[in-house]
């Protein structure tokens, strides 16, 4: 444990991350490599497992560096926080410019299909709301939180125009929950929550035919089995095929074509089909331990800013896990939400581990103050 502490202040979190990454890597190899063994296997089939591993290793390096080199209190500064907000909004705006220039109906990536600014925007929103709650959470006048509300809605608007309506609503849910947990006066978070609800409903109602089809697929999956309901049905079939103990590693069928997003949004369905209930429970236990450790660090953090940052990072992971899981079993409409540290995706791994790096910096400070 002491050797691991030299890499990250909380070895338990580091251990959970490694096991989650390992489960994700095995699932991605099962999807991308296993079906081609003995047939047409080539180096191209190792591209995604390689990029996933490289992203995790780079993220782990950044997480370790930030934990020990950063004084998190330097972020609790108006210039730093607003600089991050400007950078975040600028990147989202560049995505919209790229979308218009290329004439695409949907575009959420800045470079290729790997760099997705919205993932980093979630970390920025956590830092911004933490700063605002720490500085002005005791104020009961709504107008003092008007700017904070505007910044959150500006992020949601840019995401809505990509369009990524699910992420736009996710940003508002994350910010509002942080305000509520942070002890913000009900005179503030109740009307702000109402505003966010109205905006979210507007996004769903005026999201176009695409959103309508997804809502129909959620309510009645068999209504359009080869269209909007296709992925939902294939995900449910994967869980059914897996049964209690699974078909065995590498022996899943849905990943062979029917489940087209098997290594990203629906990776849990692949794990459920091949490893069954034990595999899914193992992942949930790891997430439970990870979130428990984050909550414990938050409770041990003395200053409001540091405590809110840890809470925000924990909520980001918790909401992502819940939404991805509920989407996979059709308890929520389909939405492109990766399973943290398990689904393939460069941006969400890097952003999540940068966030945990800031958490490590906070925890390191608490250990120092306790003489540990």
Question: pLDDT by residue (tens digit) across 115-156?
Answer: 889 999 999 999 999 998 888 766 666 666 788 889 999 999
C-alpha to C-alpha distance for 259 and 269, rounded to whole angstroms: 9
Question: Is the per-residue pLDDT at 254 higher than 90?
Answer: no
C-alpha to C-alpha distance for 251 and 136, rounded to whole angstroms: 55
Looking from the CA of 295 toward its CB, the CA atoms found within 13 Å total 10
C-alpha to C-alpha distance for 142 and 291, rounded to whole angstroms: 32
337: which residues sit within 8 A by CB, 6+ positions away? 166, 167, 170, 265, 320, 323, 324, 327
Q: What is the pTM of this model?
A: 0.93
Token pair recorded at residue 256: 């062979």
In this prediction, residue 170 carries a pLDDT of 94
C-alpha to C-alpha distance for 308 and 290, rounded to whole angstroms: 17
In this prediction, residue 211 carries a pLDDT of 67
Residue 40 maps to a domain: no
Mean pLDDT of 329-351: 88
Task: Give percent of the chain with pLDDT exceeding 90.
Answer: 48
In this prediction, residue 294 carries a pLDDT of 96
Question: Is the per-residue pLDDT at 319 higher than 70?
Answer: yes
Task: Give the closest residue to 159 by CA, choosing from 209, 194, 124.
Answer: 124
Looking from the CA of 356 toward its CB, the CA atoms found within 13 Å total 31
Looking from the CA of 204 toward its CB, the CA atoms found within 13 Å total 15
Residue 298 maps to a domain: yes
Mean pLDDT of 274-279: 94
Q: How many residues does the chain have?
A: 372
In this prediction, residue 136 carries a pLDDT of 74
Question: Is the per-residue pLDDT at 372 higher than 70?
Answer: no
Alpha-carbon separation of residue 324 from 102, 240, 356 (angstroms): 30, 18, 20
User: In terms of residue numbers, what domain contains 294?
Assistant: 75-336
Mean pLDDT of 183-208: 82
Residue 364 maps to a domain: no
Residue 162 has φ and ψ, to the nearest 5°, of: -65, -45
Degrees to nearest 5, angle at CA 114 with 88 and 168: 45
In this prediction, residue 106 carries a pLDDT of 77
In this prediction, residue 100 carries a pLDDT of 86
Question: Is the per-residue pLDDT at 335 higher than 90?
Answer: no
Mean pLDDT of 309-330: 94
Q: What is the largest CA-CA distance in the chain?
A: 68
Number of compact structural domains in the chain: 1
Residue 55 maps to a domain: no
Question: Is the per-residue pLDDT at 203 higher than 90?
Answer: no
In this prediction, residue 138 carries a pLDDT of 63
Task: Select the highest-mean-pLDDT range: 192-206, 212-226, 343-357.
Answer: 343-357
C-alpha to C-alpha distance for 297 and 133, rounded to whole angstroms: 18
In this prediction, residue 204 carries a pLDDT of 77
Tokens 């209504």 correspond to 223
In this prediction, residue 3 carries a pLDDT of 66
Band of pLDDT at residue 322, cut at 50, 70 and 90: very high
Task: Give the closest residue to 316 by CA, choosing from 189, 173, 199.
Answer: 173
Residue 11 maps to a domain: no
Question: Is the per-residue pLDDT at 333 higher than 90?
Answer: no
Residue 2 maps to a domain: no
For residues 49 and 28, is the Cβ–Cβ distance under 8 A?
yes
In this prediction, residue 274 carries a pLDDT of 92
C-alpha to C-alpha distance for 85 and 268, rounded to whole angstroms: 33
Cα 287 vs. chain centroid, distance in angstroms? 13
Task: Select the highest-mean-pLDDT range: 41-55, 109-123, 309-323.
Answer: 309-323
- How many beta carbons lie within 10 A of that of residue 370, not counting itself? 8
In this prediction, residue 205 carries a pLDDT of 77
In this prediction, residue 4 carries a pLDDT of 65
Mean pLDDT of 287-294: 97
In this prediction, residue 67 carries a pLDDT of 93
C-alpha to C-alpha distance for 99 and 118, rounded to whole angstroms: 15
Mean pLDDT of 272-291: 95
In this prediction, residue 233 carries a pLDDT of 84
Residue 221 maps to a domain: yes
Residue 356 maps to a domain: no
């Amino acid at each position: 444990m002491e050797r691991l502490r030299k890499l990250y202040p909380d070895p338990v979190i580091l251990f959970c991350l490694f096991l989650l990454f390992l489960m994700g890597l095995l699932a991605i190899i099962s999807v991308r490599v296993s079906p081609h063994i003995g047939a047409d296997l080539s180096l191209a089939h190792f591209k995604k497992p390689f990029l996933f591993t490289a992203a995790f290793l780079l993220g782990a390096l950044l997480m370790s560096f930030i934990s020990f080199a950063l004084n998190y209190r330097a972020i609790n500064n108006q210039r730093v926080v607003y600089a991050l907000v400007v950078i975040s909004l600028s990147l989202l705006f560049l995505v919209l410019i790229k979308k218009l220039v290329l004439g695409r109906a949907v575009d959420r990536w800045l470079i290729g299909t790997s760099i997705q600014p919205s993932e980093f925007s979630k970390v920025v929103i956590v830092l911004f709301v933490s700063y605002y709650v720490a500085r002005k959470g005791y104020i009961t006048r709504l107008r003092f939180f008007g700017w904070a509300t505007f910044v959150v809605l500006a992020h949601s608007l840019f995401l809505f125009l990509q369009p990524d309506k699910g992420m736009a609503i996710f940003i508002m849910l994350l910010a509002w929950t942080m305000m509520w947990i942070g002890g913000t006066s009900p005179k503030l978070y109740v009307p702000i929550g109402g505003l966010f609800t109205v905006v979210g409903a507007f996004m769903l109602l005026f999201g176009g035919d695409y959103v309508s089809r997804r809502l129909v697929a959620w309510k009645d999956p068999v209504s359009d089995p080869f269209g909007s309901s296709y992925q939902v049905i294939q995900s449910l079939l994967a869980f059914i095929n897996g049964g209690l103990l699974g078909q065995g590693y590498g022996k899943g069928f849905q990943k062979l074509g029917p489940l087209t997003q098997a290594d990203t949004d629906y990776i849990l369905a692949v794990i459920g089909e091949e490893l069954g209930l034990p595999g899914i429970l193992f992942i949930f236990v790891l997430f439970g331990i990870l979130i428990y450790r984050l909550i414990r660090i938050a409770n041990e953090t003395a200053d409001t800013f540091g405590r809110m940052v840890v809470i925000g990072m924990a909520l980001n992971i918790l909401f992502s896990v819940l939404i991805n899981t509920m989407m996979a079993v059709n308890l929520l409409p389909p939405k492109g939400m990766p399973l943290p540290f398990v689904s393939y995706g460069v941006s969400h791994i890097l952003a999540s581990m940068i966030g945990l790096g800031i958490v490590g910096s906070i925890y390191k400070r608490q250990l120092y103050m306790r003489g540990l």
